[in-house]
Chains A and B, each alone.
Chain A
Amino acid sequence: MTSETRYYEDVDVGDDIGPIERAIDHGQVVEFVKAWTNDTKPTRFNDPETAANEGLAGPIVPGMMTMAFISRLLTEWAPGVSLNTLDVVFRQLVLHDVVHTLSGIVTDKGMIEGRSEVQCDVFLADPEGTRLIIGKAILELPSREG
Chain B
Amino acid sequence: MTTDDDEIQYNKSLLGVEHEVGVFEVTKEKILGFAISTGETDPVFIDEEKAKESKHGGLIAPPTFCNIFAGDIKRPDIGLEFGDLGFHAGQAIEYKNPVRPGDTLTAKTKLKEVYPKTGRSGKMVFEVWETSFTNQRGDTAATVRESFVHRSKT
Contacts and interface: CB of A to CB of B under 8 A. Distances in A.
Contact of A31 (B36, B62, B63, B64): B36
B82 interface: no
A76 B71 CA distance: 26
**Size category, A interface:** 20 to 34
Interface in A78-108: 79, 82-90
Contacts of B47: none
Contacts of B68: 35-36, 64
A68 B34 contact: yes
B88 A63 contact: yes
| Chain A interface, >50% SS class | helix
Interface stretch (B2-10, B91-99, B100-108): B91-99
Contacts of B91: 63-64, 67, 87-88, 90
Contacts of A69: 38-39
| Chain B interface, >50% SS class | mixed
B25 to A, nearest CB: 11
Contacts of B67: 64, 67-68
Given A63-B88, A68-B64, A90-B89, A75 B95 contact: no
A28 B35 CA distance: 10
B119 to A, nearest CB: 12
Given A36-B71, A90-B88, A90-B90, A71 B64 contact: yes
Counting chain A CB atoms within 10 Å of each CB, the highest count among B62, B72, B87, B90 belongs to B90
Contacts of A22: 39
B33 interface: yes
A65 interface: yes
B64 A64 contact: yes
Given A28-B39, A37-B72, A64-B71, A86 B92 contact: yes
16 contacts: A28-B37, A36-B72, A64-B64, A64-B71, A64-B91, A67-B91, A67-B93, A71-B64, A76-B41, A84-B95, A85-B95, A86-B63, A86-B64, A89-B89, A90-B87, A90-B88
Given A35-B34, A36-B68, 4 more contacts: A65-B37, A83-B63, A85-B94, A88-B92
**Pairs A-B, 8 closest by C-beta atoms:** A35-B33, A87-B92, A64-B67, A31-B37, A32-B37, A68-B38, A83-B63, A89-B90
